Structure 1
Amino acid sequence: MDLTKTNKTHEFEEIHLFGTKFHKLTVCQLIEYIVKAAKLNQKTIIGNVNIRGMNFAWEKSWYKNFYNQADLVFCDGFGVLLGAKLHGNCVDKKHRMTCPDYIENLAKACESNQVSLFLLAGKPGVTDQAIAKLTKVAPQLRIAGHHGYFAKSGWENEAIIEQINQFKPDVLYIGFGMPLQESWILENIDKINAKVFLPLGACLDFYTETVYRGPQWMTDAGLEWLSRLLTEPRRLWKRYIIGNSLFAYRVFLEYLSQRINRSSN
């Protein structure tokens, strides 16, 4: 899909880091935007950026293009906010949002606006648990789903797309993790009958408590990464120890470059 054809008209301030954009908005504004976009007769892509996403954008040109050509990109990482602050942007914690904290409010907003939702994420059983929880808080919500453990090409992928198209969701939540979920959207969006494409990673795993996020005080303080690292050190040490260090180095490198350019001018 040519993402340059999508509609980017909205009121949110753009912030750029490493030449990659995200928008300055709150969770209430995000939910309102999703619901409004779901009513339009066009396809809308909403991205989310965190340290891992910024590192991918630095290393992969197609990934940077995904963010820069998406209709809306919200921040899901305190590290990104800190990097943006270092570069002179006026942002604070209200401009960072993580899906498990607002997914029930999103479900309620979808229910009250008659917006349907399809969940495509998680191991077998996780989506069913999430649907059961969401229908308790939004009993009239039109919702369906399928787990994310399927071949992302070939007949199995086509069968999943057919299932989505039969449901015709207004909002399609995709949770395969970065960068697979974004790549899958780009490869399949033209074949999918949905309005809003919303990649949200492991949100359902956290929401259903299949994966431990850590205590609330740590997530509120931007230390969710540390809790996850302590819980799964063998799997996540590269992502957080090396990835976070790389991000900090790149932020500092760009900061120095900007200072040098300003002084030379």
Structure 2
Amino acid sequence: MVDIGSVKKEKILGNNPRIKLLNTTIDVLDERQTVDLVEQYVLENEPLHLIGVNADKINALNSNTRLAEIVNSCGVINADGASVVLASKFLKEPLPERVAGIDLMQKLIELSAKKDYSVYFLGARKNVVEKTAKELKHKYPKLNIVGVHDGYFEETDWNKIANEIKSTNPNFIFVGITSPIKEYLVEFLQAKGCRGVFMGVGGSFDVISGMIPRAPQWMQNINLEWLYRVMQEPRRLFKRYLFGNFRFIKSIIREKLSKS
């Protein structure tokens, strides 16, 4: 792993409250508030690693000190999981809503097209990320896309990626790369002087490009989008959700009892 030195805590621009849930800092923000806050970083030219956490991410950072340091140093940390919102209510520190990464990304794309903020897409397979850019450009003809790069490169290419991003100087860099490599990469790019708002977008490129369908709206509304994903990729996701959710629930109950 590339040495990026100590993790630098980002500047906090918002005055919203934050809670701590299983050693994870989370901002008490809804989607609209998040968009407004993120735009402050753009307007003040402050670098930002915008991140969303779900049960799987919280499980991971509680067994990965480096990942925990990076996540908790981010300027904006959203609850991107219904289980996290439910857990916050159970612990009597309620979060307003789930801020779904794909929805937030599209709100920021819409904002960028309206305000002429530049965007860069990094991640996924070459045909997927290029199709994503094409679809978004079709939807938002004024969208200023300054770069597109797939996610299939080696750690030895990170400097090259950093130089390309610095040369195009985008306001937003949307990163569709598997965690925790994504977090390590963003931290590296920021350490190399890449500014702008970095946002990890999970599998959003696959959905926006049309490669993978998103759950029906009714499933999204009742917080069953995770189940739809499991149905799409049962071999890869069944054990993760079954054992991961059990581990998360167990940890939440333990935290509740420790505060009693």
Instruction: Map residues 42-121 of structure 1 onto 2, 5 A cutoff.
Output: 42-92=46-96, 95-121=97-123
CA contact (8 A) 1:104 1:137 kept: no
Could you tell me whether the CA contact under 8 Å between 1:47 and 1:198 is conserved in 2? yes
Instruction: Specify the alignment match of 1:213 in structure 2.
Output: 214
Look up the equivalent residue of 1:71 and give its one-letter code.
Answer: G
Residue in structure 2 matched with residue 142 of structure 1 by the alignment:
144
Q: Which amino acid aligns with 1:118?
A: Y
- Contact between 1:164 and 1:192, CA under 8 Å: does it hold in 2? no
1:251–1:41 distance in 2 versus 1, CA, 3 Å? same
One-letter amino acid matched to 1:131: A
Q: Larger deviation: 207-216 or 111-120?
A: 207-216
Structure 1 residues not aligned, in runs of 5+: 260-265
* Aligned residues of 1:15 and 1:24 also touching (Cα < 8 A): yes
**Could you tell me how far apart the structure 2 residues matched to 1:30 and 1:41 are?**
17
Counterpart contact for 1:169–1:193, Cα < 8 Å: no
For 1:169, what is the secondary structure of its paired residue?
A: coil
Structure 1-normalised TM-score? Answer: 0.89
> CA shift at 1:50, angstroms?
0.6
Tell me how far 1:4 sits from its aligned partner. 4.1
Identify which range, 45-54 or 99-108, moves more after superposition.
Answer: 99-108
Deviation of residue 211 (structure 1)? 2.3
Write the letter of the residue equivalent to 1:209: G
Q: Which residue of 1 aligns with 2:175?
A: 174
SS of match in other structure, 1:66: helix
SS at match of 1:37: helix
Q: Are 1:35 and 2:36 matched, yes or no?
A: no
Secondary structure at the counterpart of residue 80 of structure 1? helix
Q: What residue identity is the alignment partner of 1:187?
A: F
Whichever residue aligns with residue 47 of structure 2, its letter is K
2: distance between equivalents of 1:167 and 1:2?
A: 26
Change beyond 3 A, Cα 1:100–1:65: same
**Alignment check: 8 A CA contact 1:40 1:195 kept:** no
Shift of 1:146: 1.1
- Please say if 1:191 is aligned against 2:204: no
Tell me, what secondary structure is at the counterpart of 1:173? strand
State the distance in 1 between where 2:153 and 2:39 align: 28
Conserved 8 A contact 2:102-2:201 = no
The corresponding residue for 1:127 is 129
CA distance in 1, matches of 2:162, 2:8: 23
CA RMSD of aligned residues (A): 1.8
For 1:252, the equivalent position in structure 2 comes to 253
CA contact (8 A) 1:177 1:200 kept: no
Q: CA deviation at 1:193?
A: 2.7
Write the distance in 2 (CA, Å) between the matches of 1:211 and 1:146: 20
- Deviation per residue, 1:141-184 (Å, 9 max, x gap): 21131111221x11x33333232222111111111122121111
Q: Which amino acid aligns with 1:69?
A: S
Mean CA deviation greater in 11-20 or 130-139: 130-139
- Stretch deviating more after TM superposition (138-147 or 210-219): 210-219
Q: Compute the displacement of 1:194 (Å).
A: 2.6
Question: How many equivalent residue pairs?
Answer: 255
